[in-house]
A and B are shown apart, each in its own frame.
Chain A
Amino acid sequence: MTFESPFRLKQFFESVILLWRKTITGNFANVIHGLNKNHLTDVVIQRSKRMILDTLGVGLLGTSTEVCQKVKQYSKIYSSDISSTIWGHLDFRLPPLYAAFVNGVAVHSMDFDDTWHPATHPSGAVLPAVMALSEAFPQKKKISGLDLLLAFNVGIEVQGRLLRFSSEARNIPKRFHPPTVVGTMGSAAACAKLLALNQMKCKNALAIAASYAGSPLANAATQTKPLHIGNAAKHGLEAACLASQGLQGNNQILDMESGIGAFYTDYNPQTLPTLQSYPWLLDQQDVAIKRFPAHLGTHWVADAASSVRRKLVENSDILLILDKIEKVIVKVPEVKYVNRPNPNSEHEARHSFQFVACSALLDGSMSIQSFTSENIHRPALQKLLCKTQLEHPSDNKPSFESLYCEVTIVLRDGNAISDRCNTFYGHWRKPLTKQDVEKKFQSNASEVLPAEAIEGILETVYNLEKVEDCSVLNMFLSGQSARVLPEKLHLKHSNS
Chain B
Amino acid sequence: IWKCAPEETVTSSFASFIHAVRPEHLSKIVRHRSKRMILDSIGVGLVGSTTHVFDIALKYCLLYSSVAVSNVYGKPGVKLSPTLAAFTNGVATHSMDFDDTWHPATHPSGAVLPALLAASQMLPPNSKPNGLDFLLAFNVGLEVQGRLMHFSTEAYNIPKRFHPPSVVGTMGSAAATAKLLSLSMTQCTHALGIAASLAGAPMANAATQAKPLHIGNATRLGFEAALLAARGMEANPFILDDISGCSGFSAFYSIYQPRPLPTPSERHEFLLEKQDIAFKRFPAHLGMHWVVDAALSVRNLFINYAGSFSPSLIRTIVLKIPVSKYINRPFPNSEHEARHSFQFNACTALLDGEVGLSSFTESSIHRQELRELLHKVVVEHPEDNVANFDKMYGEVAVLLKSGDILTGKCDTFYGHWRKPLSRESLLKKFRSNASHVLPEEKVETIITMVDNLENLSDSSHLACSL
Contact = CB atoms under 8 A, between A and B. Distances in A.
Given A211-B213, A224-B234, A252 B67 contact: no
Contacts of B426: none
Given A80-B65, A207-B205, A217-B251, A223 B234 contact: yes
A74 B231 contact: yes
Q: Shortest 9 CB-CB distances between A and B: which pairs?
A: A336-B245, A218-B248, A249-B210, A259-B204, A211-B201, A215-B197, A216-B251, A262-B202, A224-B235
Interface string B190-214: 1001101111111111011110011
Contacts of A210: 201-202, 204-205
B303 interface: no
A175 B246 CA distance: 6
Given A95-B64, A211-B201, A218 B236 contact: yes
15 contacts: A80-B63, A98-B64, A204-B210, A210-B201, A211-B213, A214-B201, A217-B248, A219-B239, A231-B198, A247-B53, A247-B56, A249-B205, A249-B210, A253-B204, A262-B161
A258 B67 contact: no
A176 B161 CA distance: 14
Interface in B30-87: 53, 56-57, 59-60, 63-67, 81-82, 84
Interface stretch (A65-73, A362-370, A415-423): A65-73
A222 B234 contact: yes
Interface residues of B, number: 66
A447 B64 CA distance: 31
Given A224-B194, A224-B235, 14 more contacts: A5-B378, A77-B227, A78-B81, A207-B208, A210-B202, A211-B202, A211-B217, A217-B248, A242-B56, A245-B59, A245-B60, A248-B210, A250-B208, A257-B161
A211 B166 contact: yes
Contacts of A208: 205, 210, 213
Contacts of A82: 63-64
Given A77-B67, A216-B247, A242-B56, A258 B203 contact: yes
B29 interface: no
A212 B221 CA distance: 10
A97 to B, nearest CB: 7
Contacts of A95: 63-64
Contact of A224 (B2, B161, B197, B207): B197
A234 to B, nearest CB: 11
Nearest to A248: B209
A482 to B, nearest CB: 32
Given A7-B378, A208-B210, A337 B64 contact: no
Interface of A: 5, 7, 11, 15, 67, 70-71, 73-74, 77-82, 95, 97-98, 174-177, 180, 204, 207-208, 210-224, 227-228, 231, 238, 241-242, 245-250, 252-253, 256-263, 334-337, 340
B205 A216 contact: no
B394 to A, nearest CB: 20
Contacts of A98: 64
Given A218-B239, A222-B236, A223-B233, A259 B196 contact: no
B330 A250 contact: no
Given A79-B67, A218-B239, A249 B209 contact: yes
A334 B246 CA distance: 12
Scoring A7, A175, A211, A231 by chain B CB atoms within 10 A of each residue's CB, the highest score goes to: A211
B206 to A, nearest CB: 8
Contacts of A259: 202, 204-205
B66 A241 contact: no
B368 interface: no
A79 B67 CA distance: 7
A487 B47 CA distance: 54
Interface of B: 1-2, 53, 56-57, 59-60, 63-67, 81-82, 84, 160-163, 166, 190, 193-194, 196-205, 207-210, 213-214, 217, 224, 227-228, 231-236, 238-239, 243-252, 325-326, 330-331, 378
B373 to A, nearest CB: 14
B236 A219 contact: yes
Nearest to A82: B63
B204 A250 contact: yes
Contact of B205 (A97, A211, A231, A241): A211
A78 B67 contact: yes
Contacts of B236: 218-219, 221-222, 224
A446 B238 CA distance: 37
A262 B162 contact: yes
Scoring B84, B202, B231 by chain A CB atoms within 10 A of each residue's CB, the highest score goes to: B202
A84 B330 CA distance: 47
A263 B202 contact: yes
A97 B210 contact: no
A77 B231 CA distance: 12
A219 B197 contact: yes
A225 to B, nearest CB: 8
A246 B60 CA distance: 11
A269 to B, nearest CB: 12
A247 to B, nearest CB: 5
B378 A227 contact: no
B244 A336 contact: yes
B393 to A, nearest CB: 23
Contacts of B248: 216-219
B208 A245 contact: no
A78 B83 CA distance: 9
A78 B330 contact: no
A108 B426 CA distance: 49
B64 A216 contact: no
Contact of A219 (B193, B207, B245): B193
Contacts of A260: 202
Given A78-B67, A211-B166, A218-B236, A258 B210 contact: no
Contacts of A211: 163, 166, 201-202, 205, 210, 213-214, 217
B170 to A, nearest CB: 11
A336 B208 CA distance: 39
Contacts of B209: 247-249
A84 to B, nearest CB: 12
A82 B63 CA distance: 7
A354 to B, nearest CB: 13
A5 B235 CA distance: 58
Scoring A7, A95, A216, A231 by chain B CB atoms within 10 A of each residue's CB, the highest score goes to: A216
B247 A212 contact: no
A221 B193 CA distance: 13
A164 B66 CA distance: 42
Contacts of B202: 210-211, 213, 253, 256, 258-263
A489 B25 CA distance: 66
B205 A250 contact: yes
Nearest to A77: B67
A221 to B, nearest CB: 8
Contacts of A74: 224, 227-228, 231, 233
A101 B232 CA distance: 17
B214 A227 contact: no
